Structure 1
Amino acid sequence: MNITQTEIPDVLLIEPRVFGDDRGFFFESFNEQVFQDKTGLSLRFVQDNHSRSAKNVLRGLHYQIQQAQGKLVRVVAGAIFDVAVDIRKGSPTFGQWVGYELSAANKQQLWIPPGFAHGFVALENGTEVLYKTTDYYAPAHERSILWNDPDLGIHWNLLGEPIVSAKDQAGIPLKQADLFD
């Protein structure tokens, strides 16, 4: 497993060691001990989520203001442009974002710690995303920042008009959002 710090050092890009031959491939998508040894993070994942999206479906930017979730995100079919936004008020990278293409082909994963808003856009039809979370889904604490907030200036790598849920269309700008201390 290769771990790379992103421009926001707490967000990590993870490349698993893949063993492949003419039959296909094998890799460990998560190994607690290796993850802890390589990152220094001791995490407890409590929930796995799986979504399927058509091309140009944009989900996000989501977070929970209480029961904040760290997320380990990967793609098992298709591809996404995955985005993490630092919404920790005291952070030197507050209001900054990073984005990476995760795909079934590249098998990369993104670790997004608690204190970040998260979103992605599907780059292909039939894209399936799996992610582990460090806390349970808590609808009462869920928040959504406007995906196209001009103050964030996220370049979504859109391949057309995004398909956005009513909930995400109603997201609020970062300036008005509940934030982490």
Structure 2
Amino acid sequence: MGETDKHRRIMTALIEALIAFFKNIAGVYVSGNLMLYYEEGNPSACVSPDVFVIRGVGKNERRVYKLWEEVNAPDVVIEITSRSTRLEDLGNKRALYAELGVAEYFIYDPNQEYLKPPLQGYRLAQNDYAPIAPDAQGKFHSAILNLDLQIVNDNLRLFNPHTQKFLLTPLEAQEAVEQAETENARLRAELKKLREEK
């Protein structure tokens, strides 16, 4: 199914931020919009979560994810919902993710039109999902990711409670690199000038 620009931007930002966050942690695979097959021999038994994280598997790139070959199901799934997917996200997908053993399931409505509240979190408890209560700032804590999910300026952001900072989006990461390069060039020029004055 096609996505809006906003849907794709949010999905990509979350995936890239999580990949960077787990970069140096072995055995954590982050992906999204990848076909996940859950029943061998049945090609229609598949789902494509917008964003997912799986612990205990390699980080290698995949064309598809087959549960019977990989063993571990996703630990966390994030769906960016829309008018056309909201009933599926709240119904069949939610039931399927519970059946597969997805420990945490988050749903976000970027248009804030279909879900009330627009960000919802669920934790698997005895084969069904129990709602995760947000804190006073509206953050939903993911015990699996050890991160908080929060809506900031109509965007779903990931917050690291240990550093007290949001994970950088790809654009923010690029801007940080450019600022560091500019500052580095300025300091080198200043150092060169000081050496020439001696």
Same fold, judged at TM 0.5 (above): no
- Give the TM-score, by structure 2 length: 0.25
For the pair shown, which has the larger CA radius of gyration, 1 or 2? Answer: 2
Give the structure with the larger strand fraction. 1
Q: Which structure is richer in relative contact order (CA contacts within 8 A, separation 6 or more)?
A: 1
